[in-house]
Structure formats: C-alpha cells, structure tokens
Amino acid sequence: PFKGSVSLKCFALTFKKDMQSVCVSVNADLESQFKAFREKAAAAMPGSDWSPIQVTKGLPPERADIVIVGGGVMGWSVAYWLKKKEKVRDGVRVLVVEKDPTYSQASSVLSCGGIRQQFSLKENILLSLASADFLKNINDHLGVVNEDPVDLQFNHSGYLFLASPDVAPIMEENYTIQRDLGAKVILLSPTQLKDRFPWINTDGIALASYGLENEGWFDPWTLLNAFRCKAMSMGVYQCFGEVTGFRCSSQKAETTDGDFVNIKRIKYVDVRMPNSLEYQPVECAVVVNAAGASSGKIADMLGIGHGPKQTMAGIPLPVEPRKRFVYVVHCPDGPGLECPFLIDYSGFYLRREGLGGNYITGMSPEETEEPDVSNLDVDHDFFHDKVWPLLCHRLPPFECLKVSGAWAGYYDYNTFDQNAIVGTHPLVNNMFFVTGFSGHGLQQSPAVGRAVVELILDGGFQTIDLSAFDFKRILYHEPILERNIV
C-alpha cells in the first residue's frame, strides 16, 4: 500500500505521533483521576466536611440516629462527645439543628463567660472542676488538624464571693464541701480581704471566699465555635432551621395506681428552613432537647404538661426564658488587673473586660420585676436605679464611671429549683433533656455533654453521677436547691 521508503517513513512518523498523542491523552485523563482521588482522600481527613452520604445543601438529612435540638454550646458539646465515643466514623449519625444562623440571640455567646467551683451542690462543683480541666487542655480535645489552635482567652483571676453576717455560716459550709471535693478555695476575713483587695469597701462584710485555681472567665463564642468545628470535622451534620413539631408513636401503659398513660416515642422531627415554609421530616431514634431558653417550648410540642393537673402528664418542663442585662462600664480608677470576678451579697457582680479600664457588671432582678422576654432590649434605668448604687457603695472607685455599652441575653431558667434537668421524661422515652441551668450552663458544658452521652450510649452515668438532676424530682416535688446562684 506504500510506494517507496519515503511513504513508509511518513507512516512511521505519523503512527508515532498518534501514539504519543494517545499516551498524552491517557496520561492526562489518568492524572485528572488521580488528582480527583487525592482531593477526595484529603477531604476525608480529620478537619474536613466531606462525607460519603449525599446531603442537599441547606437541608438536613432524611435520617439521623440522634437529632440535637439547639446549636448552642450545650448542644455542640453533646454532639462532640457522641462522635468521640463512636468506634467507626459516622457510626452514629448526629444532626444539630439551630434556629438562629447568626447566633445573635444565643445565650451561649451573650453570657459573661465565667467559670467557678464555688457552688453548694456536689454535682455542680464536680461538673465545673471537670470542665475547668477540659478548658485548660482544650487543644487536646477540640484542636482540628490544619486549623489554628483554640485560644479561649482563659483568665484565671478567680471568683470572689462576699458574705454578710447572715450568710457567712452558709459560706463556711459551702467552703467545706468545695475543699473536700478538690476545689482550691480560701476564706478571707474582712481584714485579710482589705489587705488583698484594698479598693473594696468592707462595710457589712463578715466573710469572703476566693477561688485560687480553675476559676475566672473565658470567651464564650470561642468555646462554642471550637465545639462546633471539632464536631463537624468528626462528621456531625449541621442544619439551620426551626423544629416545628414531632411525629410519634404511642402506646398505653398502666401505672401502679391503676391509671392509664400514653407513652410516646419520637419517630420524626419536623425541621422548617429559615425564611421559608419548606420543611424536612428527619427520621431518628433519639432526640436531645438542648434548646436552652426555648426547651420548654420544645417539650410543649410533645404535649408534655398538657394532661390533667397533679398527674404525670400534667407537669410541664419548668424551663422558661429570663432576660438578664449586662452593662459595660469604663472606670479609669478601677482595680485593673487585680480585679477578680466579684459577687457581692447584695446581688451585683463585676469583672474586668479586657484592658484599658473596662468592666462588665449586672445583677438579677427581683422575681416581681422580671423584664419582658419578647425582645432583647436593654433597660438602662435598671443600671442607674439598681446596679450602680450597690456598685459604687462596695467599690468606691466606680462612683466615677461611664456606661460604654450593654446587651441582654436569656437564661434557660428552671422555675422549679434553678438547677439543671438532665435525663429523659417518663412519658417520652427517647427525648433526653439537657437544660434548665439557670446561668451556669456554659461553664459546665464540657462535663455535662459527656454525662448526657454516657446516659444515651452507656445507659447510665459513668464519670459524674447526675441522677439528682433527673426530671423525676419535679414529679415528686423534691427540689434540690443551689445556694450560690448568680
């Protein structure tokens, strides 16, 4: 077919070029496949958000083993510990649902960020001790590969409680319990208090209690975001939406008194997308109610408390939002770096906020003066009428100050006994409560999250026994009172 050696040579050259072209094409295709594989493998490393399960962006998955209602620090702590205890990646599929994408009204980030062991209840002391240890070693727990280390800005300046003659004996009892459980706390007489903190007016003070270790304050947003980023790197799903209802199965059961009750089991959680009528039902096995100030509303959706009064079905979850104001003041003659987190027996608190003579202060109102919770507006008259007179009496340098800012946030306030509610409801056997902390949830979130996961996965508490915080105490009308509520 070829005429002469010239034609044959031309064929050979053409064939060689064609083969080179084919090889280049094949190699290029192979390299693109390798590149895609390497990118996928890198994405599957810890710290990525890759998952083999296809999820529509913005929508929750159709199924999850555990749905956590509330993406505050408590919800993300539970999510982290669930993944921490799983044996295989995505062995437990966890979804966190948060209704506020901006976190602008989240109690976690609007708190003062304090942590202390100066409580009266053993459970609260142990929780805060364990959480303080977690926070001091936070990068061992919440560090993410290829991300910057977590900087909590943990300030170890301690808490300083001031007691009047009436409550000094209670302070001594609390001190004994705290020391027995390992808290590093000392008692100070008025003279010792004045020597250590000369800017305090000691009139009316009989005794003071000061935390030497594991107490102070940190940045709340950093902790929340650290839990969130770590949990998501471990495979937790996040969805911004609002839980609007539940779909349950039920069966009748007879009590020892011969009464019949309906036992519910949640099958689906309905999640509505932000600014939309669209919603996604999520099939699940377990629901964790970590909705904070909204947790009572979530329980109400299940009919908890809708039964006849004085019956098991008629007792609601006693958690409601309570608004608290935080004021930022500038006082050039204030105590500066020597300032601990001070709690006066009159009710006001004060701590340093950064440098440059800035402080934050506030106090809880009387029960009859609780502010409107329909918004987060700040009542500035409350500072001038209630807080400032007490503040400048106890701390004379604060007679000269300027209010430079203020904000408000919600407590998940337990109206029954101002303590946590941790565990299940007897009539809804697959919803776990983790709520009602009444102002000290942030500081206890690392240890509480672990305890709740022990309850879910192990069937009981393994590290710190929180059975005293079970919902049953509300049914039996047996409050457990914490004497150091701020």
SS (H, E, C) the chain: CCCHHHHHHHHHHHHHHHHHHHHHHHHHHHHHHHHHHHHHHHHCCCCCCCCCCCCCCCCCCCECCEEEECCCHHHHHHHHHHHHHCCCCCCCCEEEEECCCCCCCCCCCCCCCEECCCCCCHHHHHHHHHHHHHHHCHHHHHCCCCCCCCCCCCECCCEEEEECCCCHHHHHHHHHHHHHCCCCEEEECHHHHHHHCCCCCCCCCCEEEEECCCCEECCHHHHHHHHHHHHHHCCCEEEECEEEEEEEEEEEEECCCCCEEEEEEEEEEEEECCCCCCEEEEECCEEEECCHHHHHHHHHHCCCCCCCCCCHHHCCCCEEEEEEEEEEEECCCCCHHHCCEEECCCCEEEEECCCCCEEEEEECCCHHHCCCCCCCCCCHHHHHHHHHHHHHHHCHHHHCCEEEEEEEEEEEEECCCCCCEEEEECCEEEEEEEECCCCCHHHHHHHHHHHHHHHHHHCCCCCCCCHHHCCHHHHCCCCCCCCCCC
Q: How far apart are CA 74 and CA 454, in angstroms?
A: 15
Determine the average pLDDT of the residues in 242-250: 96
Q: What is the pTM of this model?
A: 0.87
| Section 259-273 average pLDDT | 93
More confident residue, 73 or 46: 73
Look at residue 24 in the predicted model and tell me its pLDDT. Answer: 45
The model's confidence at residue 459, banded by pLDDT at 50, 70 and 90, is very high
Which of 24-38, 109-123, 193-207, 235-249 is least confident? 24-38
pLDDT of residue 56: 53
Do 251 and 262 meet the contact criterion of CB atoms below 8 Å apart?
yes
Position 301 pLDDT exceeds 90? yes
In sequence order, the β-bridge partners of residue 362 are: 349
Q: Lowest-confidence range among 5-19, 217-231, 317-331, 366-380?
A: 5-19
Q: Are 156 and 133 in contact (CB under 8 A)?
A: no
Q: Could you tell me which of 221, 12, 182, 205 has the C-alpha nearest to residue 103?
A: 221
148-198 pLDDT, tens digit per residue, is: 999 999 999 999 999 999 999 999 999 999 999 999 999 999 999 999 999
**C-alpha angle 50-55-56 in degrees, rounded to nearest 5:** 125
Q: What mean pLDDT is reported for the chain? A: 90
The per-residue pLDDT for range 306-323, each reduced to its tens digit, is: 998 888 899 999 999 999
Q: What is the pLDDT of residue 33?
A: 52
Question: What pLDDT, on the 0 to 100 scale, is given for residue 309?
Answer: 87
Q: What percent of the chain has pLDDT over 90?
A: 80
Confidence of residue 31 (pLDDT cuts 50, 70, 90): low
Task: Tell me what pLDDT residue 184 has.
Answer: 98
- Exposure of 475 in the CB half-sphere (CA atoms within 13 A): 14
How much is the average pLDDT of 220-243?
97
